[in-house]
């Protein structure tokens, strides 16, 4: 087993797991100093490309960004989202996951779903491709946003899905927008770590989209917290540049090229 994955597993019930998304080398190199896990999320579809959903993200796009992120990640575990319609069956999933792993040198992949994808998870793990699960809100397929697990049947299904994913060999599971009591129940029950997003502090770790964290997105979800407003910093820098160009203060004479 990958040493970095072992490290993640050992944090269960001991220390919170820190996870953030990254889509480029520079951001990844910063996150690598603070995160246990860096996720190349298909959220890049909305964050970088203004897509209406993650369904529009292609395998090629994920690979290109993941190759960049890999250059900035040395210490953290690097996981790549398998995009929509790239793991519809075990054969397709294995073919595409092998391509992702070979081209990006990632430590594993993340798949959305529960019971239906168990044969796929087993196939990937059998072929030495570590898998992170993802239950609750499934951005690739869910049409409406609503917290999961409030209804008894839904709660039982999600809990069962996490048990199946664990049994199939997943090393951790993302719980997205799952009701507080259920997220605690899942985290207490399964032996692998849970990584929450909008699923309370009951989870073994947390993940956020980096652009939400630094104030570079328009997200208004209550579970998102802005820790900085980088957009204002950029705005001030651009205004200063504009002013200096107009005043002929930039470039300074001593910085100009001379024959």
Helix axes 152-168, 180-189, angle to 10 degrees: 30
Among 60, 112, 154, 176, the active-site one is 176
- Give which of 130, 120, 114 is closest to 186, Cα–Cα: 114
- Give which of 215, 181, 220 is closest to 201, Cα–Cα: 181
User: Which position has the token pair 């995009």?
Assistant: 83
Is 154 in the active site? no
- Give which of 38, 61, 125 is closest to 90, Cα–Cα: 125
> DSSP letter at 84?
T
The DSSP-derived string for 94-157 is HHHHHHHHHHH--SEEE--BSGGGHHHHHHHHHTT--EEEEEES-TTT-SS---BS-SHHHHHH
- Are 230 and 215 within 8 A, CB to CB? yes
Q: What residues are paired with 80 via a beta bridge?
A: 40, 109
Please tell me the distance from the alpha carbon of residue 15 to that of residue 28, in angstroms, as a whole number.
22
Q: What residues are paired with 113 via a beta bridge?
A: 134
Query: Which positions are annotated as active-site residues?
Result: 176
């Amino acid at each position: 087993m990958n040493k970095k994955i072992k490290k993640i597993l050992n944090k269960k019930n001991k220390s919170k797991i820190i996870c953030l998304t990254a889509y480029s080398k520079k951001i990844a190199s910063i996150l690598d100093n603070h995160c246990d896990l860096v996720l190349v999320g298909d959220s890049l579809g909305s964050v970088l490309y203004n897509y209406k959903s993650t369904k529009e993200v292609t395998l090629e796009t994920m690979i290109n960004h993941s190759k960049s992120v890999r250059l900035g990640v040395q210490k953290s575990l690097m996981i790549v989202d398998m995009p929509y319609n790239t793991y519809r069956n075990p054969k397709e999933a294995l073919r595409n996951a092998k391509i992702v792993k070979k081209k990006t040198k990632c430590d594993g992949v993340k798949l959305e779903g529960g019971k239906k994808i168990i044969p796929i998870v087993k196939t990937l793990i059998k072929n030495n491709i570590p898998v992170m699960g993802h239950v609750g809100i499934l951005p690739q397929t869910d049409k409406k946003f609503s917290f999961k697990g409030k209804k008894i049947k839904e709660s039982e299904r999600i809990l069962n899905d996490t048990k199946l994913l664990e049994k199939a060999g997943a090393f951790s599971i993302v719980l997205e927008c799952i009701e507080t009591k259920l997220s605690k129940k899942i985290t207490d029950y399964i032996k692998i770590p849970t990584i929450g997003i909008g699923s309370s502090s009951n989870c073994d770790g947390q993940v956020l989209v980096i652009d939400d964290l630094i104030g570079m997105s328009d997200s208004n979800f209550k579970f998102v917290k802005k820790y900085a407003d980088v957009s204002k910093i950029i705005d001030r820098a651009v205004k200063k540049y504009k002013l200096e160009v107009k005043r002929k203060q930039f470039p300074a004479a001593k910085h100009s090229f001379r024959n």
